[in-house]
Amino acid sequence: MRQPTIATVIPTIGRLELRRAIESVLAQSRKVDEIIVVADTDEELDLPVGKDIVTLRVGPGAGGNVARQRGIEFATSDLVALLDDDDEWEVHRLERQVDLIPEGLGQDWIVSSFLEARLDNGKTETWPDRAIGPTETIPEYIFRKHSVRAGMGYIQASTLLFPRLLGLAIPFDPALRFHQDISWLNDVSTARPGVRLIQVPEPLVRHFIQAGSVSKKISAEQSLGWAFEHLSSDGRTFGDFVLTHSLHAAANSGNILRIIQTAMQAGIHGKPGRPAVLYACAFTLQFSLRQLAIAVRLLFKTILRKRCASPAGIIVAPLRPRKI
C-alpha cells in the first residue's frame, strides 16, 4: 500500500521561534515531503540553511487563516500537517498519527493528539484531559463542559493532520482573526456530519502560550459574536462555550462587570450545563478576589507612602531601635 505524502504548512509572522518550529519538522522520524512556510510579513525570515523549504508570502497582516489556506492550496501532497511558528513537534508526531489514519472514510477524517502546554507562568500541563467519546461530535467535545475543574476537549492547530482535499473543500475562514482552529473544526463538522476525529492520547506537540498570544487579545464581544453565528442552534453547546471561552475573553478586559454581563448571555440565549455554570461562578469569584487583593495592596502602599512623608513632602526615614 502506498504511503501518503505529507506537506507541513507553517504560517508565520516572523517570530524568532520559527527556526525552532522548522527544526522540529526536520527531526521527524516520519519525514515530510514538503515544508511550506507562509509569511504574513514582509520581513526576512530566519530559516535553516540548505534545506528544501518553500516560502510563500501573504499580507502583510492578512491573518493566520489566509496564510494556512494559501499553504494548503499550494501543497501537492496527500495530507497536510499544520504547525504554528511558535510551537514545535515531538520527534514521533507524524509517525504516531499516520499509523492511526482510518481506512474506508475517504477524506472525512482528522487526526490530532494531546499536547504539552507551556504556560507563560512557567507551568507545564497536558491538554486535553480526555479523548473524544465514541458518540460525541467534534463541537460537543470541544465546547461542552462535563466537569467543573476540566471536562472540555482541546484541539489545537499544531496537532492537526488531515487530507488536503478536506482543507480545499472546507477552507479556513480568511476573515477570522480569532477562534481560528476551533472554527474550522466546527465548520468541518457542520459540512461533513460523519467526519471522524482520531486522537493520539499522548502529547506530541509542545504548545507555547505567550503573554501576547491571540487568545489573550480576544474581546468578549468578538467571542460572543462568533458563538451567536456558529453555535446558537444548540443551547447547551452555546451556553457552555460562553461560560468558558467567552468568559475568559471577558477577563482579558480586567473588568468584573464585563465578565458578569458575558455570563448572563449564556443563560439568556442558551442552556448551559451544571458543570459550566459552577465553573463560571468559581471563575468569577476567583477573579473578583484577585482584583480585590490588588486594590488592597495599592491602598496600603498609598497609605504607607503618605505616612512616610513629611508635610513638606520630604521622606522621613523610619526610626531604628537604639542598641543599649
For 110-139, how does the pLDDT look when each residue is reduced to its tens digit (9 = 90+)?
999 999 999 988 899 999 999 999 999 999
- pLDDT for 305: 81
Domain check: are 203 and 281 in the same one? no
Find the distance separating the first CA and the last CA of the chain, reported in whole Å: 92
The region, left, alpha or beta by phi > 0 then psi within -120 to 50, assigned to residue 210 is: beta
Q: In this structure, is residue 209 part of a structural domain?
A: yes
Q: Write down how long the chain is.
A: 324
pLDDT tens for each residue of 4-26:
999 999 999 999 999 999 999 99
Domain check: are 189 and 69 in the same one? yes
pLDDT band at 323 (very low <50, low <70, confident <90, very high): low
- pLDDT for 310: 54
Q: 60: cis peptide before it, omega within 30°?
A: yes
- pLDDT for 217: 82
pTM, to two decimals: 0.88
CA separation, residue 85 to residues 4, 10, 18, 39, 312 (Å)? 24, 6, 5, 10, 56
CA 154 to chain centre: 8
The CATH number linked to 57 is 3.90.550.10
Domain check: are 48 and 175 in the same one? yes
Closest CA to 65 of 40, 34, 94: 40
52 vs 128: CA distance, rounded Å? 34
Query: Taking 80 as the threshold, does the pLDDT of residue 227 lie above it?
Result: yes
Average pLDDT of the chain is 92
Domain check: are 243 and 101 in the same one? no
pLDDT tens for each residue of 142-193:
999 999 988 789 999 999 999 999 999 999 999 999 999 999 999 999 999 9
180 vs 202: CA distance, rounded Å? 23
Q: In this structure, is residue 313 part of a structural domain?
A: no
More confident residue, 3 or 77: 77
Cell of 166: 478536506
Q: Radius of gyration (Cα) for the chain, nearest Å?
A: 24
Residue 305, CA atoms < 13 Å, CB-side half-sphere = 7
247 vs 226: CA distance, rounded Å? 13
Domain check: are 231 and 272 in the same one? yes
Domain check: are 238 and 150 in the same one? no
pLDDT tens for each residue of 243-278:
999 999 999 999 999 999 999 999 999 999 999 999
